[in-house]
């Protein structure tokens, strides 16, 4: 007999390209990591240190049919490369950071931009803007053992076949080793953690009926279709 007072939630997983399932522990995100995106949001690219925020693990959505979220009239796409960790620790050095990477995926950091704007206005927390249900869309994870360190290559996002975001991973303000090193000084990182590494310029709204594709050179593409929320 189990002591659980009700059935515990199922483990959140992301498929691994080539087979297997990656169990998700936590989701960390980097904000303001491409200069031209910082500018389009009215910020200063030289404004450091890096911005970190989180999403709940059960915000993972692995693509395909996607129901339009609750409580927003301005759902924004942020195409991003996602790093998946196989190990972690605290105070990880930049030199050893890559050894903790399991793999990489194309992702979309969905944002209720209207709620974020209201939060910024009031200097309040971003949780309702960023931690929305299904707000961490992610494609299959490609193992680093197959492709090595992913520190350059094109990243793009299209809606209904029209390119909206187009950049290169080499333009990230904070590199992967710097992100992992700094984040591990704030949180103990562990196997199963995902890190959304920030979006380039060109963010914009998604509406019901849209099909969104995120492509990162060398990785499986991520596709999802926005449906009306039912019920």
Residues that bind Mn ion (CB under 5 A): 78, 109, 199
On whether the CB atoms of residues 217 and 148 are closer than 8 A, the answer is no
Nearer to Mn ion among residue 109 and residue 134 (C-beta) = 109
Q: Tell which residue, 74, 92, 126, 111, has the closest CA to residue 198.
A: 111
Nearer to Mn ion among residue 129 and residue 181 (C-beta) = 129
- Please state, in angstroms and rounded to a whole number, the distance separating the CA atoms of residues 61 and 55: 12
Q: Tell which residue, 196, 194, 198, has the closest CA to residue 25.
A: 194
Collect all residues with Cβ–Cβ distance below 8 Å to 184 and sequence separation of at least 6.
88, 89, 90, 91, 92
Nearer to Mn ion among residue 109 and residue 193 (C-beta) = 109
- Please state, in angstroms and rounded to a whole number, the distance separating the CA atoms of residues 13 and 23: 4
- Please state, in angstroms and rounded to a whole number, the distance separating the CA atoms of residues 117 and 183: 25
- The least CB distance from residue 4 to Mn ion, in Å, is 35
Nearer to Mn ion among residue 87 and residue 201 (C-beta) = 201
- The least CB distance from residue 68 to Mn ion, in Å, is 19
Q: Which residues pair with 190 in a beta bridge?
A: none
- The least CB distance from residue 53 to Mn ion, in Å, is 8
- Compute CA distances 200 → 38, 169, 196, whole Å: 8, 9, 12
When CB distances to Mn ion are compared, the closest residue is 109
- The least CB distance from residue 109 to Mn ion, in Å, is 4
The single-letter DSSP state of residue 103 is: E
Nearer to Mn ion among residue 16 and residue 78 (C-beta) = 78
Nearer to Mn ion among residue 16 and residue 24 (C-beta) = 24
- The least CB distance from residue 135 to Mn ion, in Å, is 10
- The least CB distance from residue 212 to Mn ion, in Å, is 14
């Amino acid at each position: 007999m189990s002591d659980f007072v009700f059935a515990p939630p199922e483990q959140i997983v992301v498929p691994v390209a080539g087979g297997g399932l990656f169990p998700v522990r936590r989701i960390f995100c980097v904000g303001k990591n491409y200069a031209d995106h910082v500018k389009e949001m009215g910020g200063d690219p030289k404004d450091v240190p890096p911005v970190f925020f989180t999403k709940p693990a059960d915000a993972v959505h692995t693509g395909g049919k996607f129901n339009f979220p609750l409580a927003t009239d301005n759902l924004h796409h942020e195409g991003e490369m996602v790093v998946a960790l196989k190990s972690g620790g605290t105070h990880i050095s930049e030199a050893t950071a890559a050894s903790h990477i399991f793999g990489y995926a194309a992702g979309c950091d969905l944002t209720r931009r209207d709620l974020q704007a209201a939060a910024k206005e009031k200097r309040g927390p971003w949780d309702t803007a960023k931690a929305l249900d299904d707000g961490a869309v992610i494609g299959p994870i490609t193992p680093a053992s197959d492709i090595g360190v992913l520190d350059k290559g094109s990243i793009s996002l299209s809606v209904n076949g029209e390119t909206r975001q187009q950049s290169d991973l080499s333009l990230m303000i904070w590199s992967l080793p710097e992100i992992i090193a700094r984040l591990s000084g704030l949180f103990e990182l562990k196997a199963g953690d995902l890190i959304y590494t920030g979006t380039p310029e060109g963010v914009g709204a998604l509406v019901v009926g849209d099909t969104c594709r995120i492509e990162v050179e060398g990785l499986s593409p991520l596709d999802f279709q926005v449906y009306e929320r039912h019920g």
